[in-house]
Chains A and B, each alone.
Chain A
Amino acid sequence: MSPSQILSLRGVSKFFGGVQAVLDVYLDVLEGEMLGLIGPNGAGKSTLAKLILGSLKPSTGKVFFGGRDITGLSRRERAGLGIAGTNQFPRVFSSLTLRENLEISLKSGGGKHLFESVAEVAELLGLSGLLEAQASSLSHGQRRLLEIGMALVSGSRLLVLDEPSQGLTGGEVERLASILTGLSSKRLSVILIDHRVDFVKSLSGRVGVMSKGRMVALGPAGDKGVADVIEEVYLRGLDAGD
C-alpha cells in the first residue's frame, strides 16, 4: 500500500444469507481525497459504507486503514482511529442541545481535530444561531448538517457520508456542497455516497460506480468511460458485465 493511501479494501464481500450485498470490491482512498460513490438503489453503497465504518463485518476480504488491518475492529475502535460517518437517516442526540451534541463529538475521536471549537464548526454549518436549541426541535436538514458537524469535530481522518443530501432543500444542498468544498484544505479524506449524480461528480475527484454489489467503474469524475457506465447503470439498470 502506498503511503498516500488511507483506506484500502481488498476483495471485500458481504453476504446476507444467500443474498450478495457487496461482491469482491477493491478500493483505495487517498489522503485528502474526496471519492464519490454512486449507484442505484440496492447497489450495495450503504452496505459498503457500513463495512468501512465497522457496523458490519465483511464475509470475505480485508479492510486496511493507514496500512493497518482493521477488518476485525468494531465501529468504536475504528472511530478511535479516526473513521467517522453519517447515516442515511440523521442520528443525533435528541434530548441534548446542538452545542452539547457537538461538544460530545469534539472530545471523542482519536485523530487530529480539524476544528478547535464548537463555535467554529457551528459557523461552518450555518447553525450558530441554534447552538442552544434542543436537537429534537431541529428540522430534518438541520439535523443532517448537525450530524455532519458531529463527524467533522470527532477527530476524523476519513469521513464516510451516506446520502448526505437526502431530504435537504435546494439551499441546504448548496450549503452542504460549500462545506464539503471547504474541507479540501483540511486534508480530510471523504467518501461521498449519494443519489444525486451531478452533486457527487461536481465535488469528487474520482467517482466509483456500484451496481448489484460490484464496483463496476472507478475513475476521474470527468472521465468519459465512467460517464458511460453511469448512464448504462442508471438508464438501463445493467451490470458492467452484462
Chain B
Amino acid sequence: MKGLARTIVTFSIPAVLACIYPILPEYAKFFLARVMILSVYAYGYAICFQMLGMLSLGHAALFAAGMYGAGLYTIYASPSPLSALLMGVAAALAFSLAMGLLSTRVGGPFLTITTLLAAQALYLVALHFNEITGGEQGIVLGREATLVWPLSPWLGESDSRYLFSLVTLVIAVTGVWALSRSRLGKLFIAVRDDEEKLESLGYNTATLKLLGFALSGVYSGTAGALQALLYSYVGAGYAGILNSVEPVLWVLVGGPLIQVGPLLGCMLVNIIADLARGMLRGHVLIVGLGLVLIAFAAGRLSWAYRLLRRSTGLVS
C-alpha cells in the first residue's frame, strides 16, 4: 500500500501537467516548459543533497557544462540537436566526475567550498573566453539546432517545447523513483545517515559518493543541454552562484519526499518568483527571502516533515 501511495504521489504532478496541456495559454506553456527543465535540474541536485547529504554550491557548473557542451557543439561541430544533447550530457558527466573527485574526498563544509570554487572557476573561464562562449551576453543558437525545430511543422514551437520538457521530466521522475527504491538509493541514504558506519560494513563510500555526484551531474547537465537546445541560448550567467543556490531552495521548499519534492519546490518557487517579477530584481529577492524564511522556520518545517512521514509512511 505504501509503495502504491508513493507511486501515485510521484507521478501525480507530471500527470496533471499532461492533462492541462491542451487548455493552457501560450505564456503558461512557455513558462511551465522552463519550470519542467529546471525541475530536472532540481532532481539532480536532490540526488546529491537530499539523498547523499552533500551540500554542493557548485551545481551551476554542471548545468552550464551541459548547456555549453550542447550549445557550442551546435555552433562549432554540427547543428544536429540530438548529438548536441548527448554531447552536453557527456560534458556534464566529465565535469561532475572531475569536480566530484576533488570535492567528495573532503566532505562537509569543505565539499561546499570546493564545489563553489570549481563553479566560480568555470564561470570565470566562460567570461574570459568571451569570443567562444559569448561571455555574459551569451550566444543565440541557430533555429535548426534546436530540438523543437524538427517537430514545429506539426506541433508549433511552444507545444513542441512543452511536450519535450514533459517527456524529459517524466523520464527524470521515473529515474529518481526507481533510484529511491533501489539498493543503490538505499546505500546513498546510508551514506547520508552514517558514512563511517557504512564504511565499517565494508562499503567504499568514496566511490558511492562519486557515483552519486556523477549521476547528479548527468541530471543537471541534461537540464542545461535542454535549456540550450529548447531556448536557443547559452550564456555565462547560468554558471553563476545564483544558479547554484536556487536548487538548494527548491529542494528545501519541496520537502522530504525526494520522488516529488524537487518538482513541487521548483514549481512553487518559480511561480512565486514569476508573480513577483515586476519588482526590482524580484527573482533574486524571492530566492533570498525564501532561504532566510526556511532557516528561520527550520524547526517547524522539520516538525511538519516528521508529521507527514508518520502519517503517510512516505519517506525520502
Contacts and interface: CB of A to CB of B under 8 A. Distances in A.
Contact of B190 (A80, A93, A154): A93
A95 B202 contact: no
A95 B200 contact: no
B200 A93 contact: no
B197 A85 contact: no
Contacts of A75: 199-200
B201 A95 contact: no
B121 interface: no
B194 interface: yes
B200 A80 contact: no
Interface in A91-114: 91-96, 100, 103-105, 107-110
B189 interface: yes
Contacts of A85: 200
Nearest to B316: A95
Contact of B204 (A76, A95, A154): A76
Nearest to A134: B315
A76 B191 CA distance: 14
Interface in B175-217: 183, 186-187, 189-190, 192-194, 196-204
B189 A80 contact: no
A108 B186 CA distance: 13
Nearest to B256: A95
22 contacts: A53-B200, A75-B200, A76-B202, A79-B200, A79-B201, A80-B202, A85-B200, A92-B194, A93-B190, A93-B194, A93-B197, A93-B198, A95-B193, A96-B193, A103-B186, A104-B186, A104-B198, A105-B201, A108-B203, A109-B201, A150-B201, A154-B202
Interface in B82-122: none
A91 B197 CA distance: 7
A105 B186 CA distance: 12
B200 A100 contact: no
Interface in B154-184: 183
Nearest to A153: B201
B244 to A, nearest CB: 25
Interface in A71-90: 74-76, 79-80, 84-85
Contact of B194 (A76, A79, A91, A109): A91
Interface residues of A, number: 26
Interface in B114-132: none
A95 B203 contact: no
A154 B199 CA distance: 12
A24 to B, nearest CB: 26
A100 B202 contact: no
B289 to A, nearest CB: 30
B72 to A, nearest CB: 41
A94 B197 CA distance: 12
B202 A104 contact: no
B199 A76 contact: yes
A95 B314 CA distance: 11
A93 B192 CA distance: 9
A108 B201 contact: yes
Nearest to B203: A108
B197 A92 contact: yes
Interface string B36-54: 0000000000000000000
A195 B196 CA distance: 25
B200 A76 contact: yes
Contacts of A53: 200
B200 A96 contact: no
Contacts of A104: 183, 186-187, 190, 198, 201
A238 B286 CA distance: 67
Contacts of B315: 95, 134
B179 to A, nearest CB: 14
A93 B202 contact: no
Contact of A108 (B192, B194, B202): B202
A103 B199 CA distance: 15
Nearest to A75: B200
Most chain A C-beta atoms within 10 Å of own C-beta, residue among B190, B196, B316: B190
Interface string A144-161: 000000100010000000
Contacts of B192: 95
